[in-house]
Amino acid sequence: MVWEGNTDLDGTTSGALTLGESFSHRFSDTAIFTHAANGLWKTSDFGDTLYTITASLAAAITQRTQLKFELLELYKSQPPPGIEKGDLSLITSLVYSF
């Protein structure tokens, strides 16, 4: 199910179909590359889709911490009025594992 609410517009509900893939490659004991791509289609309108693509590189600093850089691309085929279809983000994070 998909519930979508936008400012100044009525919310919508629809069934959904999702498909995705992911890939991970460890270069060494301290560096790892990951990639994932997902698509979400509304069953009420297969032309209304959301695609999410990520790619990241993480490097261990210590046994419990790592520095991670990630590119995140979001693409909505039918966004609400005034909203762009695509968005690209660079996310930098310090990860701590318990």
Neighbours of 42 (CB within 10 A): 21
Please say if the pLDDT value at position 76 is more than 90. yes
Higher pLDDT, 91 or 81: 91
Let me know how long the chain is: 98
Residue 11: the pLDDT is 79
Q: Which two tokens stand for residue 63?
A: 């046994």
- Residues 2-55 have pLDDT tens digits of 888 777 777 788 899 999 999 999 999 999 999 999 999 999 989 999 999 999
pTM comes to: 0.82
Query: Mean pLDDT for the chain?
Result: 93
Q: Where are the beta strands (DSSP E) in the chain?
A: 2-4, 12-14, 16-26, 31-42, 45-60, 65-76, 86-96
Residue 30: the pLDDT is 93
Helix (H, G, I), strand (E, B) or coil at 6: coil
